[in-house]
Structure 1
């Protein structure tokens, strides 16, 4: 289905916290953080993949510090990083996974509205 701008959407891309209980309709579960979530055993995460290359760079993550007043600038910088070859390859891989069914992007971020996973989901869908 195309949106009002003619872009094709991938409706099966979800964003969830990695600490949430896995759900049967999660499909392919991919952790998109650069560092492993605190206090979570690898077996409990029930991941299919860990896409570190899709996460913001360490430098950007440290600069941002999840401070809401920096979010707009963080989003701009992260989108720029997603255009770089390593990140672009990771986004392409996630897009391929989404083409086979539901894709759930997982992150340890407490407030998803100020995290990178939603921005990444938009990139995988082909939105800017």
Structure 2
């Protein structure tokens, strides 16, 4: 099985990224579709607008956001299909989950990767 990675969409594209999936609900500012080198933009796996706005990338709200987003993932009917798709691709190549947030430690993709790894 190949590696599951996370990366800011603004970071340089590398062939070693494998399958690149944007998992933000909103398109990141200032990045063209060509420069993004996306294989998939999956908005359905991102946090709800209500949760995203409540978190507002404020570090002191991160733990609460983390718990609520994990709950959303557990209840999201799309999650199982997303997990199957990621697992299938990991059998053939690395998968890189992309996000737009500036904070590399406190964002939805960190939570999503953690959730995926627990499901493996």
Query: Partner of 2:78: helix, strand, or coil?
Result: helix
Name segments (4+ residues, structure 1) moved above 2 Å: 86-100
- Is the CA contact 2:2–2:91 (under 8 Å) kept in the aligned structure 1? no
* Structure 2: gaps (5+ residues): none
Deviation of 1:122 after TM superposition, in Å, equals 1.6
* Structure 1: gaps (5+ residues): 1-9
Select the structure with the greater relative contact order (CA < 8 A; seq sep ≥ 6).
2
In structure 1, the residue matched to 2:11 is: 20
1:25-40 alignment, distance < 5 Å:
25-40=16-31
- Is the CA contact 2:22–2:41 (under 8 Å) kept in the aligned structure 1? yes
Deviation larger for 78-87 or 36-45:
78-87
The two structures have a TM-score, normalised by structure 2, of 0.90
- Is the CA contact 1:18–1:107 (under 8 Å) kept in the aligned structure 2? yes
**Aligned: 1:42 with 2:37:** no
Alignment: residue pair count = 119
Inter-partner Cα distance in structure 1 for 2:50 and 2:88: 28
Inter-partner Cα distance in structure 2 for 1:86 and 1:29: 18
Deviation of 1:96 after TM superposition, in Å, equals 2.6
